[in-house]
């Protein structure tokens, strides 16, 4: 598969993995539609890509608003005439003890990560079927395959994405459809979702383990070009998945290391959440 001349739409495209994907697809000579709810960040992303000689098209949209999302997808279709790849990348996290996560934060996590993805698929699938081709890429996470503690909202959302995507893929395959449903499941990546140095963030002393949005974008695009549907674009994610396969309890228990502020804290069994 080549992306030259293809139309690629990406949600959450103003920062993190979304922006890295937009940049990578631009290098692949795709026509890129940037979708984001943050007007200032969206404009900044557009300008950054234009300074590199690319010509992205921005679409300001709150993807949790069904009519706004439908209108944006129709706007992309009106602008480019087709959508070859739609990337459901936008995501947020609400990480803490379950009882300390408000219902509002839990709902917001599901609305952004899950419901918006489902609705985008609902709106995009008919037009891809009418085209006779298309790929939908849903960004999941290793947290969609494992279940570490203190991430119940995010884990539940990403498990939902993995399950939904696989079920939809099976349904389309039963119909001999030409539409592809792919999943990319990164591990720990240095993005806004990872708040380094904070109580429920990623420990500064372990930051060497974080991978970059650029490396995730690079490996994800390469995997799509090879026709892969289940993509694991980070080394730390693959390591966790392998370890969990053979030592599931030990792997989950080891996640407590993320609650330490230093190696000394780890050796003294001191954690930020008791």
Residue 106's CB: how many other CB atoms inside 10 A? 17
Phi, psi for residue 159 in degrees, rounded to 5:
-60, -40
The neighbouring-strand residues paired with 103 are: none
Active site residue 150: no
| DSSP line for 90-155 | ------S-GGGS-HHHHHHHHIIIIIHHHHHHHHHHHHHHHHT-EEEEEE--GGGTS--TT-HHHH
Q: Could you give the CA distance from residue 255 to residue 274 in angstroms, rounded to a whole number?
A: 14
Q: In what order do the strands lie in the sheet with 31-36?
A: 57-60, 31-36, 7-11, 85-88, 134-139, 179-184, 230-231
Query: Which one of the listed residues 37, 150, 154, 271 is annotated catalytic?
Result: 154
CA quadruple 55, 90, 65, 95: dihedral sign: negative
Task: Using alpha carbons, list the distances in angstroms from residue 29 to 23, 43, 45, 151.
Answer: 10, 20, 17, 37
Beta strands in the chain (DSSP E): 7-11, 31-36, 57-60, 85-88, 134-139, 179-184, 230-231
Q: Could you give the CA distance from residue 135 to residue 28 in angstroms, rounded to a whole number?
A: 16
Catalytic positions, written as ranges? 154
């Amino acid at each position: 598969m080549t992306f030259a001349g293809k139309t690629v739409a990406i949600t959450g495209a103003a920062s993190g993995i979304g922006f890295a994907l937009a940049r990578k697809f631009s290098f692949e000579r795709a026509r890129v539609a940037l979708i984001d709810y943050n007007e200032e960040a969206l404009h900044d992303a557009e300008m950054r890509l234009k300074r590199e000689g690319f010509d992205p098209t921005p679409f300001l949209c709150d993807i949790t608003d069904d009519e706004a999302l439908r209108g944006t997808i129709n706007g992309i279709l009106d602008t480019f005439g087709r959508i070859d790849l739609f990337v459901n990348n936008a995501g947020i996290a609400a990480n803490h003890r379950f009882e300390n996560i408000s219902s509002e934060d839990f709902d917001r996590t599901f609305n952004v990560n899950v419901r918006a993805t489902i609705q985008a698929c609902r709106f995009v699938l008919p037009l891809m079927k009418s085209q006779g081709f298309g790929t939908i890429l849903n960004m999941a996470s290793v947290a969609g395959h494992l279940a570490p503690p203190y991430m119940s909202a995010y884990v539940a959302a990403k498990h939902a994405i993995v399950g939904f995507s696989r079920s939809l893929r099976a349904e389309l395959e039963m119909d001999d459809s030409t539409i592809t449903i792919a999943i990319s499941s990164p591990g720990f990546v240095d993005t806004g979702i990872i708040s380094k140095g904070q109580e429920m963030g990623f420990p500064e002393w372990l930051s060497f383990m974080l991978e970059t949005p650029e490396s995730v974008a690079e490996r994800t695009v390469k995997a799509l070009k090879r026709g892969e549907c289940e993509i694991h674009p980070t080394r730390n994610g693959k390591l966790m998945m392998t370890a969990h396969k053979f030592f599931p309890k030990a792997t989950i228990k080891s996640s407590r290391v993320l609650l330490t502020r230093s190696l000394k804290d780890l050796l003294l069994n001191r954690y930020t959440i008791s």
